[in-house]
Amino acid sequence: MAYLQRYNQPLLALMLLHCLAWGPGPTSGGSPGTHCRSGSLKVKLTLCILLSFLPKNSPLFVTMMTQIKSIAILAFAAAAMAQKLDKPALTPDLDYLNQGNIDNHGPTQSTTAGYEAGQIPADCKDRAQAEGHDPADMEVTYVTYTDCADPWVFCRHKDSVPSLVDLQDMFGRVPVGMRDYVKHVMSFPGGQGAYNYGGDIVFFDTAGLTFDVWLHESAHSLDLQGAITGDSATTYSSTDNWVNNYNQDPNVADNYAQSNMVENFAQETVVAIYDKAVPGGFGGVQPSYNNLFHQYATVQGDAGAKIITGGTCNRALQPSGPVSISSTARRTTSAYERPEHTFSQKYSNLRAPNLKANTKDTCKIGHKH
């Protein structure tokens, strides 16, 4: 998305006018473009006229262009997630890295505490309802690790395959610099795989028992929540630096990495972490390691200490605030804008989460471990 940041405001205005000129379309569903096409033609014409006559330095113009830029970035990100990569896979899967990764990422001691009675984090309620579950069946727990003064909030369905102990053990093995970009951990029965939704990691069936799935989903947070770019509206996997290094390698890591650039980044992060943590590195188990070198070395260089075990937290995303567990109402857009759960410590890394960034459609389907 670096090239998008170089667009000037008039060009962004032209992009909006082109979008508005498509005419009315569906109000929901469909491809990313259908959301741009939806709405009243009168509203579109009004926006066109307003943008044409607003002074370029007026607060309203600047605000509107900022919003347009964010929408354009998300549209490009959505397109990137829909684009299958044409590089051949080096191996069918990365199962051969899982044991080495878990053996070289020890657990972090933790303590647990119950959540407020009759309450549930808004994100957990939203995901439970979206996945067809009753929020009252969610077991909500504060989990505090010794490397962070503030807890993470875990939401586990009572019939989930991994126990709470399984989940807190696995998450504690993830480098704290990656945990900083995770809002909540959730686990549900049934289904398959896992996905990342606005910084929340959502597991199904047995996926929460496989360590490399935790690394993969946490890597999505690094990518989609601005851990590397410093801007939660800009995905790292779409930057010029990442794409240029991807172009220098003949392969992607495995079949799953071929799905799109976002999934490829997450899989290359699993490789990068293995190379750093396991004695002998990636080359010790993969003779053709050089076929991925530019990709995983770029992750190592740009993510830095975030993917290495050790240190203490510098939280980036606040957990969502509590809502009533019994209310049947779904959250509204305004609910997302409410202040989140308050941390006890001050963190220099805090940012507004990219709530629209998720891998539900690409990561859950077919992500089997």
In this prediction, residue 261 carries a pLDDT of: 97
Question: Is 75 in contact with 103 (CB distance < 8 Å)?
Answer: no
281 inside domain: yes
Residue 35 has pLDDT above 90, yes or no: no
| Percent of the chain surpassing pLDDT 90 | 67
Which pLDDT does position 20 carry in this prediction?
Answer: 40
Q: Tell me the per-residue pLDDT of 304-335, one tens digit each, with 9 for 90 and over.
A: 999 999 999 999 999 999 999 986 655 543 34
- Examine the domain organization and report whether 160 and 185 are in the same domain: yes
pTM for this entry: 0.78
Strands 200-204 and 194-197: antiparallel
Are 243 and 341 contained in the same domain?
Answer: yes
Binning pLDDT at 50, 70 and 90, where does residue 165 land? very high
Q: Are residues 231 and 300 in the same domain?
A: yes
What pLDDT, on the 0 to 100 scale, is given for residue 56? 63
pLDDT (mean) for 150-177: 98
Name the helix (H) or strand (E) containing 369. Answer: none
pLDDT band at 233 (very low <50, low <70, confident <90, very high): confident
Question: What's the pLDDT band for 199 if we cut at 50, 70, 90?
Answer: very high
* Section 44-55 average pLDDT: 57
Do 49 and 122 fall within a single domain?
A: no
pLDDT at 25 (0 to 100)? 32
Domain-terminating residue out of 82, 105, 129: 82
pLDDT tier at 39, thresholds 50, 70, 90: very low
Q: What is the SS3 assignment for 261?
A: helix
**b/e string for 240-270 if b means 16 or more Cβ within 10 A?**
eebeebbeebebbbbbbbbbbbbbbbbbbbb
Mean pLDDT calculated for residue range 115-142: 96
Q: How confident is the model at residue 44 (pLDDT cuts 50, 70, 90)?
A: very low
Asked if 121 contacts 298 with a C-beta cutoff of 8 angstroms, the reply is no
* Claim to verify: residue 219 and residue 359 sit in the same structural domain: yes
Each residue's pLDDT tens digit, 234-268: 999 999 999 999 999 999 999 999 999 999 999 99
**Domain containing 68: what range?**
2-82
User: Quick one: 119 and 163 in the same domain?
Assistant: yes
What domain count does the chain have? 2
Per the domain annotation, does 32 fall within a domain?
Answer: yes
314: DSSP letter: -
190: phi > 0 → left, psi -120 to 50 → alpha, else beta; which?
Answer: left
Average pLDDT, the chain: 82
Among residues 43, 58, 82, the one where a domain terminates is 82
Q: What is the mean pLDDT of residues 179-186?
A: 98
Whats the size of the chain, residue-wise?
369
Per-residue pLDDT at 122 exceeds 70? yes
Same domain? For 295 and 359 the reply is yes
Backbone angles phi, psi at 33, to 5 degrees: -70, -25
Strands 184-188 and 152-157: parallel
Whether 343 and 275 share a structural domain: yes
My answer on whether 142 and 51 are in the same domain is no
Q: How confident is the model at residue 21 (pLDDT cuts 50, 70, 90)?
A: very low
Cα-trace Rg, the chain: 21
Task: Please check whether residues 246 and 148 belong to one and the same domain.
Answer: yes
> Does residue 291 form part of some domain?
yes
Q: Give me the percent of the chain exceeding a pLDDT of 70.
A: 72
125, 192: one domain: yes
Angle at 185 between CA 233 and CA 252, to 5 degrees: 60
Examine residue 118 and state whether it is found in any structural domain, yes or no: yes
Where among 59, 82, 105 does a domain terminate?
A: 82
Residue 48 shares a structural domain with residue 134: no
For residue 231, tell me if it sits in a domain. yes
CA–CA dist 122, 341 (Å, integer): 10
* Backbone phi and psi for residue 142, each to the nearest 5 degrees, phi listed first: -80, 130
Amino acid at 233: A
How far from 89 is each of 29, 128, 197, 254, 331, CA to CA, in Å? Answer: 32, 35, 26, 4, 40
Residue 2 predicted with pLDDT over 50: no
- Top mean-pLDDT range of 19-33, 206-220, 339-353: 206-220
Tell me if 369 is assigned to some domain: no
